[in-house]
C-alpha cells in the first residue's frame, strides 16, 4: 500500500513546524557543503599571491576538500548504520567548525592541507548522511522537493562565499590604489584568512540544530525499536500515515527475510545480488558523471578562469557572484519542478544543455589559446647556478622574453598577457599559477622546494615511480613557458555568459536530481553503504579533476579541459535519457519493488 496518495504533511499543528525545522537543519547541512565547495574560489587569488605555493600545491589545497570527502565517504555508510543518522550529522558539523581556525590561523602548506582535509571529511559525511536522512524521514510526495532543498541551500552557501569574496576584492582594489606593494601583500594575506573566518557561524547553527531533530524512523525500525520509529514518524506525519508506513516497512522486511531464506544467506547483504546491481550501477554512473561535468573545479577556479578569459579582478569576482546567483535562483525553479516533471526529465534537459555550453566555452578559450607562444628557451636562460629562477612579469618582460626567443610580438604587442611556466627537477614537474603582465605584483619564483616533495610519502602520491633522491640534485628544466594574450573584456563577458548558462542547466538537472538519485535508487537494506560507495566514486572523480586542473590548464589550456568535460557529459545524457527509471511520487519501498521485478524478468 502506498502513502503517495495521502497528503504527506498535516495542514497545521506541531507536525508542520517540525517538518519546517527538519528542512531548515538539513538545509544548513547543504549550506555547509556549499561553503566547502565555494569558499576557496574567493580566497584562492589572495592565497596564490601571499603563500608562495606553486600550482601543484595550490591544486592540492583545492583538492584536499575532495580528498577528505573521499576518505570520509568510504566510512560514512558504516558510521551512519552504527551511530545513527542524527549523531553523524552532529559529528560532521563539529568537524567543519574545528576546520575553520585550523585554516585561518595556518602558517605554511601543511596546516592548510590539514584544515582543508577536515573540511572535506565534514563534507563527505554531510553528503551521505543528510540526503540519506531526508530520504528516510520525508513522505513520497515531498521527498523530491525536500531533498532538493538540501541542494538549494548548498547553492546559497556558494552564493554566500561569492559575496564574501567580492567584498574583499573591493577592499583589495582600494588598498591597491595606495601604490604600496607591501601593504597590498599584507592585506591579501589578511583577506583570505578572513574569508574562512566568516564561514564559521553556519557550522555552529547546524551543530545546534542537529541536536533537536529526531532519529530516522527507518534506521530505528531496522534496529527493532518499533515504538521509537513510530514516535519519530508521528513528529512529521498523521497517525494514519505513520501506521501505513510502518506496515510497508514491516512487509518489506518480511519479504527480505523470505527471500534470504529461499536464496541462502550468502547473498543476503551483497551489493552484487541481482536485485541490487542495476540501481547500484546507475547511481555510480550518475554520481561519477555529475563530477565529470567539471562542476566543482569550474566553481572552485571560477575567479581564476574569468581572469584568464579577459575580465579584471573585480569583474571576475562579480562574474563569480553572478554565477552563484544563477545557481541559487535556477535551483529554486528546479525545486518546484522536481516533483512535477520528474527526475529523468530534468536530468535529460540539464545534461544536454551542459554539453552545448561547455563546447561554447571551450571554443572561446581555443580562439585565444591558439595564439600562445612558448618562450621556454628564454626562461631557461634565466636559471641561475643554484638551479633557481625568478622573473618579474610585466610588459617589458614580455618584450624581452619574446625577443630572446626570436619571436615577433604579433598579437602580444602592447596588450596584457599571461605567463605559465611548467618546469621540473628530475622526475617531478609542476606548473606555476598564471600571472598577468598588467598586475603590478606579478612575479614568478621557480625553486626546488616548490616542485620536489619534502619526503617520500608526499613523493609517492605525487609520482610513485619517481626517484626522489635524484630530484634533490637534478637541474631545473623549463619544459614550457607559455605566454598567452589576455582576451578583450567583451571576450571575457561572452565566456562568462557561457559559464552562466552551464551553471543554469546544471542547477535545473544534475544539481537537484543527483542527491535524489543517490538516496532513492538504493534499496533500504544497503542504502547507507551503497550511497557511500557511489559517493566515493563521485568524490574520487572530483578529486582527480581538481588535482590536475591547474597543471593541465598550464600545459594544454582551458579549452582542452572544457572539451573533455563536454565529452563526459554526453555519457551522462545517454544514461539519464535511456537507462534511468522515473521515481517521482513513489515510496522507497515501491522503488525497491520496481528493481526487484526487473531483476526477476532478467
pLDDT, residue 589, reads: 61
Decide if 552 is inside a domain. Answer: yes
Same domain for 225 and 286? no
Q: Cβ distance 419 to 393 under 8 Å?
A: yes
How far apart are alpha carbons 479 and 139 in whole angstroms?
A: 58
The CATH number that applies at residue 136 is: 1.20.1250.20
Least confident of 6-10, 544-548, 557-561: 6-10
Count of domains for the chain: 3
Pick the residue with more confidence: 2 or 579?
579
Decide if 29 is inside a domain. Answer: yes
- Set of cell numbers at residue 504: 543554469
Same domain for 401 and 518? no
Decide if 459 is inside a domain. Answer: no
Same domain for 149 and 207? yes
How far apart are alpha carbons 64 and 49 in whole angstroms?
A: 19
For the chain, what percent of residues have pLDDT higher than 90?
9
pLDDT, residue 583, reads: 63
Q: Cβ distance 315 to 306 under 8 Å?
A: yes
* pLDDT tens digits for range 481-495: 888 887 788 888 999
Average pLDDT over residues 320-342: 81
Name the band, by pLDDT with cuts 50, 70 and 90, for residue 7.
Answer: very low
Decide if 7 is inside a domain. Answer: no
* pLDDT tens digits for range 185-196: 888 888 888 888
Pick the residue with more confidence: 4 or 515?
515
Same domain for 482 and 334? no
Same domain for 596 and 478? no
Decide if 457 is inside a domain. Answer: no
Name the band, by pLDDT with cuts 50, 70 and 90, for residue 584.
Answer: low
Decide if 1 is inside a domain. Answer: no
Same domain for 117 and 236? no
Whether this model's pTM surpasses 0.75: no
CA 393 to chain centre: 32
* pLDDT tens digits for range 349-386: 899 999 999 999 999 988 887 777 888 888 898 899 88
Q: Where are the beta strands (DSSP E) in 110-170?
A: none
Decide if 139 is inside a domain. Answer: yes
Same domain for 110 and 196? yes
pLDDT, residue 4, reads: 42
Does the structure show a pLDDT above 50 at 8? no
CA Rg value for the chain: 26
How far apart are alpha carbons 345 and 348 in whole angstroms?
A: 5
Domain ranges, residue 242: 220-258
Same domain for 181 and 207? yes
Q: How many residues does the chain have?
A: 602
Helical axes 55-83 vs 14-51, angle rounded to 10°: 160
For the chain, what percent of residues have pLDDT higher than 70?
80
Q: Cβ distance 493 to 326 under 8 Å?
A: no
DSSP structure class, residue 386: T
Q: How does the average pLDDT of the chain come out, rounded?
A: 78
Cα separations in angstroms, 155 against 293, 315, 443, 487: 17, 21, 35, 30
Does the structure show a pLDDT above 50 at 3? no
**Bridge partner list, 425:** 428, 476
Residue 528, exposed/middle/buried by CB under 10 A (0-12, 13-18, 19+)?
buried
Does the structure show a pLDDT above 60 at 267? no
Same domain for 234 and 191? no
pLDDT, residue 498, reads: 94
Same domain for 285 and 407? no
Decide if 265 is inside a domain. Answer: no
Q: At which of 228, 258, 288 does a domain end? A: 258
Same domain for 111 and 146? yes
Average pLDDT over residues 511-518: 73
pLDDT, residue 358, reads: 94
Same domain for 414 and 531? no
Name the band, by pLDDT with cuts 50, 70 and 90, for residue 501.
Answer: very high
Q: Cβ distance 404 to 381 under 8 Å?
A: yes
Helical axes 200-210 vs 14-51, angle rounded to 10°: 150
Does the structure show a pLDDT above 50 at 338? yes
Amino acid at each position: 500500500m502506498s502513502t503517495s496518495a495521502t497528503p504527506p504533511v498535516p495542514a497545521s499543528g506541531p507536525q508542520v513546524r517540525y517538518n519546517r525545522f527538519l528542512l531548515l537543519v538539513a538545509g544548513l547541512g547543504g549550506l555547509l557543503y556549499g561553503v566547502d565547495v565555494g569558499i576557496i574560489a574567493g580566497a584562492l587569488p589572495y592565497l596564490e599571491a601571499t603563500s608562495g605555493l606553486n600550482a601543484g600545491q595550490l591544486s592540492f589545497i583545492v583538492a584536499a576538500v575532495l580528498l577528505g570527502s573521499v576518505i570520509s565517504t568510504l566510512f560514512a555508510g558504516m558510521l551512519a548504520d552504527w551511530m545513527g543518522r542524527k549523531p553523524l550529522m552532529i559529528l560532521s558539523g563539529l568537524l567543519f567548525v574545528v576546520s575553520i581556525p585550523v585554516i585561518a590561523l595556518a602558517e605554511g602548506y601543511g596546516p592548510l592541507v590539514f584544515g582543508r582535509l577536515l573540511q572535506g571529511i565534514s563534507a563527505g559525511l554531510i553528503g551521505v548522511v543528510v540526503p540519506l536522512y531526508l530520504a528516510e524521514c520525508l513522505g513520497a510526495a515531498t521527498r523530491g522537493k525536500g531533498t532538493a532543498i538540501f541542494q538549494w541551500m548548498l547553492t546559497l552557501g556558494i552564493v554566500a562565499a561569492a559575496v564574501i569574496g567580492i567584498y574583499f576584492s573591493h577592499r583589495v582594489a582600494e588598498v591597491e590604489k595606495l601604490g604600496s606593494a607591501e601593504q597590498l601583500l599584507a592585506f591579501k594575506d589578511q583577506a583570505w584568512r578572513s574569508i574562512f573566518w566568516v564561514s564559521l557561524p553556519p557550522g555552529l547553527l547546524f551543530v545546534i540544530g542537529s541536536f533537536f531533530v529526531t532519529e530516522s524512523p527507518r534506521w530505528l525500525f531496522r534496529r527493532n525499536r518499533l515504538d521509537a520509529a513510530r514516535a519519530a514518524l508521528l513528529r512529521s506525519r498523521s497517525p494514519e500515515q505513520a501506521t501505513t508506513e510502518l506496515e510497508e516497512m514491516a512487509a518489506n522486511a518480511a519479504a527480505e527475510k523470505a527471500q534470504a531464506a529461499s536464496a541462502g544467506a550468502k547473498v543476503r547483504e551483497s551489493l552484487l545480488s541481482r536485485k541490487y546491481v542495476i540501481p547500484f550501477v546507475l547511481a555510480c554512473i550518475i554520481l561519477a558523471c555529475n563530477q565529470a561535468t567539471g562542476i566543482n573545479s569550474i566553481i572552485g577556479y571560477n575567479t581564476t578562469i574569468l581572469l584568464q578569459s579577459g575580465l579584471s579582478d573585480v569583474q571576475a569576482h562579480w562574474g563569480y557572484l553572478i554565477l552563484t546567483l544563477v545557481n541559487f535562483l535556477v535551483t529554486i525553479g528546479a525545486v518546484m519542478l522536481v516533483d512535477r516533471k520528474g527526475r529523468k526529465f530534468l536530468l535529460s534537459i540539464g545534461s544536454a544543455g551542459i554539453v552545448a555550453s561547455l563546447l561554447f566555452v571551450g571554443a572561446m578559450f581555443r580562439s585565444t589559446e591558439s595564439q600562445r607562444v612558448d618562450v621556454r628557451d628564454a626562461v631557461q636562460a634565466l636559471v641561475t647556478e643554484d638551479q633557481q629562477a625568478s622573473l618579474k612579469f610585466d610588459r617589458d618582460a614580455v618584450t624581452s622574453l619574446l625577443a630572446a626567443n626570436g619571436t615577433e610580438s604579433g598579437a602580444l604587442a602592447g596588450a596584457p598577457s599571461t605567463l605559465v611556466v611548467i618546469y621540473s627537477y628530475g622526475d617531478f614537474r609542476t606548473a606555476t599559477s598564471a600571472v598577468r603582465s598588467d598586475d603590478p605584483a606579478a612575479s614568478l619564483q621557480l625553486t626546488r622546494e616548490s616542485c620536489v616533495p619534502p619526503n617520500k610519502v608526499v613523493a609517492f602520491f605525487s609520482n610513485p615511480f619517481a626517484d626522489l633522491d635524484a630530484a634533490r640534485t637534478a637541474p631545473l628544466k623549463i619544459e614550457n613557458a607559455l605566454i598567452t594574450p589576455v582576451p578583450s573584456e567583451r571576450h571575457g563577458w561572452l565566456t562568462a555568459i557561457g559559464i552562466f548558462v552551464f551553471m543554469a542547466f546544471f542547477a535545473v538537472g544534475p544539481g537537484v536530481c543527483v542527491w535524489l538519485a543517490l538516496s532513492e535508487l538504493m534499496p533500504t537494506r544497503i542504502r547507507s553503504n551503497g550511497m557511500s560507495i557511489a559517493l566515493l566514486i563521485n568524490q574520487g572523480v572530483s578529486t582527480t579533476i581538481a588535482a590536475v586542473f591547474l597543471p593541465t590548464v598550464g600545459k594544454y589550456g582551458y579549452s582542452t579541459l572544457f572539451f573533455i568535460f563536454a565529452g563526459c557529459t554526453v555519457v551522462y545524457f545517454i544514461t539519464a535519457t535511456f537507462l534511468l527509471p522515473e521515481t517521482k511520487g513513489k515510496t522507497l519501498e515501491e522503488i525497491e519493488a520496481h528493481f526487484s521485478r526487473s531483476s526477476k524478468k532478467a
